[in-house]
Structure 1
Amino acid sequence: MMTDPHKALGHEPGFSLLTDREIRCLQLVAEGKRLEDAGNILVLSQDDVSNALASAQIKLEARNLFHAVSIAMLMGVVKHTDPFQPK
């Protein structure tokens, strides 16, 4: 039996508070993209990407960016992708 990630986190899910930009930036970081790469993909400056990630980290009450990505993945906001998995 799997644990409900919302209960495991101990509070109400905060993903509804995340903007689309924050979610897209978290997803790209989860895929291993650098800030520069994420900015190029999203047509944003590195500062815009950095600000979106910092905002998401605050909203998710994460200790660091890695923690924010982990929380977002547990909540189902960010999808795990494996580049080596055949499609």
Structure 2
Amino acid sequence: MKTDTRRAIEREPAFSFLTDREIQCLQLVAEGKRLDDAANVLIMSREEVDMMLLSAQAKLEASNLMHAVSLAMLIGLIDHSDPHQPK
């Protein structure tokens, strides 16, 4: 499945259809967390985190998880600032 990134960014915001948990899971992946670590942070099972990420990926019409994270960053759904960089 190929996603037109421009269409994904300009269409009706996909994030209005994403749950808070899906957004939290995408944010943790963007921060470099492994699924097990994300599950521990969110007090969920690894399987639940995986399901949240797959659901978010489908809603964003992303071809893979990294594409979903990239789209989420582009549309301002998740923060992509580096917490280790000085402000």
Match of 1:36 in 2: 36
- After TM superposition, the structure 1 = structure 2 runs for residues 1-87 of structure 1, keeping only pairs within 5 Å, are 9-86=9-86
TM-score by length of 1: 0.86
User: Residue 61 of structure 1 aligns to which amino acid in structure 2?
Assistant: E
- Between the aligned partners of 2:48 and 2:40, the Cα distance in structure 1 is 11
Superposition RMSD on alpha carbons, in Å? 1.9
Report the CA distance between 1:7 and its aligned residue: 6.3
1:82 Cα shift?
A: 1.0
Inter-partner Cα distance in structure 2 for 1:30 and 1:53 = 12
Q: Return the alpha-carbon distance in structure 1 between the equivalents of residues 83 and 21 of structure 2.
A: 22
Q: Say how many residue pairs are matched.
A: 83
Unaligned runs of 5+ in 1: none
**Residues 26, 78 of structure 1: 8 Å contact kept:** yes
Distance in 2, matches of 1:24 and 1:41, equals 10
Please give the alpha-carbon distance, in whole angstroms, between the structure 1 residues aligned to 2:33 and 2:73: 16
Deviation at 1:9, TM superposition (A): 2.8
Deviations, residues 51-71 of structure 1 (Å, cap 9, x unaligned): 000000000000000000000
2:66 alignment partner, SS class:
helix
Distance (whole Å) between structure 1 residues aligned to residue 59 and residue 71 of structure 2:
11
> When the two structures are superposed, what TM-score results if normalisation uses the length of structure 2?
0.86
